[in-house]
Structure 1
Amino acid sequence: MTRLDVTRLDVTPAGTALVTGVSRRAGIGYAVARRLLDRGDRVVVHSWSPHDAGQPWGADDVDAVVAALGSPPHLPADLGDPDAPAALVAAARAAAGPLTTLVVNHARSALGRLEEVTADELDRSFAVNARAAVLLTRAFAAQYEPAAGPGSVVLFTSGQHRGPMPGEIPYALSKGAVQQVTATLADAVAGRGITVNCVNPGPTDTGWAGPAVDEQVAAAMARGRWNTPEEAAAVVAWLTGPDARSVTGATIDAEGGFRR
C-alpha cells in the first residue's frame, strides 16, 4: 500500500476524530465532519473517490470537499485492501495525534437481487463494509490513549435488521454484519473507556435517488420527507460527546418514522 504523507496539526481540540467516507458534499460523512469541526474537534477525513465514480451519482471534487471543510488532513485509501485500515489509522494519528473518535461512515454500495448476486461482489462488499469496520476499530483501540479524552467508535448500518432489502443483497449482508458485531466490539473495548455504537440513519437524502424513488420514500416517512445528512451527524455528535458515555453496544435507529 502506498505510504500516506500527512502534515501534523498543532491545535488542541475537544477531541480528535477520524471520519471515513468523506467524499461528497451531499453525503453523511461530510455532514459528520462538519459537525465535529464546528464543536471544536480536530478531524482527519478519509475518502475513496473511485467508488463514487462508478456509481450513478458520480464523484464529487474531493479537493473542493476538503476545502469546504477548512482543509483538514485528508487521506484517500481503498478500505477493501486488508492492510488499509491499520495504515489509515496510523496516518491519521501521525497527522493529528492520538485519536479519541472513530466514525466508520464509508460504504461500498452494491445492488443485486438473489438471482443476480455473485461471489465476487459479496466478497468485495463484505471486505469494504464489514471487515474494514472491524479492522479500523481494532487499530483505533490499539492506538487509543485514555489521557487524550473519552474514546468512542460509531459504526453505520442500514435498515436490514428492521426489514428486507431484496434488491441490495451484498450491501444488506455486509451492513447487517456491522450491526450484529457492534455489541461484541463494544464489550471488547469497554474496559478501556471506549464506547462502540451503530447508527441506522434511515432513508437519507444524499442525492442518490431519482424522482420516482424520491417520491416513494417521502410518502413512507412519517414527516413526509427524507432524513438529512445533518440529522445523522447530530446523532453521531451525541454518541461521541459527553452525554452518551453510558450508551455502548447499541444500534440507534434514527429513521425519522420510516414506514416499511
Structure 2
Amino acid sequence: MFPTTQPLRGKTALVTGVSRRRGIGFAVASEFARLGADVFLHHYRPHDTRLPWGGDDLDAVRDGLQSALATGARFGDVSADLRDAASVPLVIEAAQGLTGRLDILVCNHAQSGDDGSILDMTAERLDAFWATNTRSTILLTREFAALHARSDGPGSRPGERVERRGPFAEPTGRVFWMTSGQIHGAMRGEVAYAASKAALAGVTKTVAAELLDLGIILNTIDPGPVNTGYLDPETTDRPLAEIEAWMRATPFGRYGEPADPARLIGWLATPAGAWVVGQVLSTDGGLGLG
C-alpha cells in the first residue's frame, strides 16, 4: 500500500508550459511529484527566450522535477509549439506513453508579451493569443477526453449530450484550465491575453458538464498576481511603482508565489478534492476583494 502522503501514486499527470523553474507549471508539476504521481512535462522554450525574463536551462528544469519524484515514479517531457493544432494529439500521445495511462491534464501554457490596449489590437495579435491560450487548451482537453470516451458511438450534434458512462466510484480524470484576473477587474494593456483567458472561464461550466458525463472533473484556476519573474525590477515588462505600492497596502503585503496555486491544484487532484466540479476558483490571498 502506498503512503497516505502520496495520494496520486499510480496516476500520470501532464502539465503544459513547464520551461522555467520560477513558473507556475514547474510548481504544479513539483507538487504532483511530491504527491506521488508520474509526471510528464510539455515545454516550448522559444516563447520564453524572447521575453524580458528569458528562458531557463531545460536540463535544470528536468533535474529539478526528477529529484522531486517519489521512489519508482516516472518522468518524461516533450517540446511542442501548441499554436500548431497538429502538435496537440502528439503531446497527449507522448504523455500517455510514459505509463500507458493519462489521469491528469493541467493546461498551464500561455502566451505572454506582445499585447496592448484596444487601440493596439490587430487580427494577427488576437489570433496569436487565441490559438495559444484558448484553442490549444480546448483541443488538449478534447484529446484527453477521447482517451476516456467510447470511440464506437456516433458523434453528438449540437444540443445532444455526451453518452453518460456513470455512475463512477471515483473520477476517471482531472482537467485544470488557467484563467486570469480579468474575472475581477480591468487588465489594462492586456486586451488580447484577457480575452483569451476570459473565453476559458466563460466556457468552463459547459465543458465541465460534458466531461462529467465521462467521469472527468474540470476546474479552472485563477492564480492571482503570481510573480514568476515578470514582477522583478530587472526583468519586468511593465511599470512597477504603482503595482508595488498597491501590493504593500494589501493584507499580506506580497505577490502570490507559484506554490500558492500549485497547492490548490494538487489538492483538487486528490480524492479529497473530487467534490469540486466546474468551478472558476481564485487563489489570490483576497486581492480580488480589494
Q: Taking structure 2 as the reference length, what is the TM-score of the superposition?
A: 0.81
| In structure 2, C-alpha distance between the alignment counterparts of 1:144 and 1:38, rounded to whole Å | 26
| In structure 1, C-alpha distance between the alignment counterparts of 2:52 and 2:42, rounded to whole Å | 21
Q: How does 1:31-180 map to 2 (within 5 A)?
A: 31-70=27-66, 72-110=75-113, 111-144=115-148, 150-180=172-202
Structure 2 equivalent of residue 226 of structure 1: 255
The alpha-carbon deviation at position 162 of structure 1 amounts to 1.1
Kindly indicate whether the alpha-carbon contact (under 8 Å) linking 1:17 and 1:99 is maintained by their aligned counterparts in 2: yes
Q: Deviations over 1:42-83 (max 9, x none)?
A: 110010001101111110111211111117201111010011
Structure 2 equivalent of residue 188 of structure 1: 210
Kindly indicate whether the alpha-carbon contact (under 8 Å) linking 2:107 and 2:137 is maintained by their aligned counterparts in 1: yes
| In structure 1, C-alpha distance between the alignment counterparts of 2:126 and 2:213, rounded to whole Å | 34
Change (3 A) 1:40 1:210: closer
| In structure 2, C-alpha distance between the alignment counterparts of 1:217 and 1:91, rounded to whole Å | 44
Secondary structure of the equivalent of 2:182? Answer: coil
| In structure 1, C-alpha distance between the alignment counterparts of 2:257 and 2:204, rounded to whole Å | 24
Q: How does 1:23-34 map to 2 (within 5 A)?
A: 23-34=19-30
More divergent stretch after superposition (179-188 vs 146-155): 146-155
More divergent stretch after superposition (209-218 vs 12-21): 209-218
| In structure 1, C-alpha distance between the alignment counterparts of 2:66 and 2:124, rounded to whole Å | 38
Q: How does 1:207-218 map to 2 (within 5 A)?
A: 207-211=229-233, 212=240, 215-216=244-245, 218=247
Structure 1 equivalent of residue 158 of structure 2: none
| In structure 1, C-alpha distance between the alignment counterparts of 2:91 and 2:60, rounded to whole Å | 21
Identity %: 41
Structure 1 position 245 matched with structure 2 position 241: no
The alpha-carbon deviation at position 29 of structure 1 amounts to 0.3
| In structure 1, C-alpha distance between the alignment counterparts of 2:249 and 2:228, rounded to whole Å | 17
Secondary structure of the equivalent of 1:231? Answer: helix
Change (3 A) 1:148 1:253: closer
| In structure 1, C-alpha distance between the alignment counterparts of 2:178 and 2:286, rounded to whole Å | 18
The alpha-carbon deviation at position 149 of structure 1 amounts to 6.5
Kindly indicate whether the alpha-carbon contact (under 8 Å) linking 1:45 and 1:74 is maintained by their aligned counterparts in 2: yes
The alpha-carbon deviation at position 248 of structure 1 amounts to 1.1
More divergent stretch after superposition (213-222 vs 72-81): 213-222
Which runs of 5 or more residues in structure 1 are unaligned?
Answer: 1-11
More divergent stretch after superposition (180-189 vs 209-218): 209-218
Q: Deviations over 1:208-244 (max 9, x none)?
A: 1144256245235321101110111001011111112
| In structure 2, C-alpha distance between the alignment counterparts of 1:52 and 1:180, rounded to whole Å | 27
Secondary structure of the equivalent of 1:115? Answer: helix
More divergent stretch after superposition (204-213 vs 158-167): 204-213
Instruction: Output the aligned Cα RMSD.
Output: 2.0
Q: Deviations over 1:70-106 (max 9, x none)?
A: 1720111101001122111011111232101000111
The alpha-carbon deviation at position 14 of structure 1 amounts to 3.3
Secondary structure of the equivalent of 2:209? Answer: helix
More divergent stretch after superposition (111-120 vs 195-204): 111-120
| In structure 2, C-alpha distance between the alignment counterparts of 1:24 and 1:148, rounded to whole Å | 33
More divergent stretch after superposition (147-156 vs 183-192): 147-156
Who wins on radius of gyration, i.e. which is larger? 2
| In structure 1, C-alpha distance between the alignment counterparts of 2:134 and 2:148, rounded to whole Å | 21
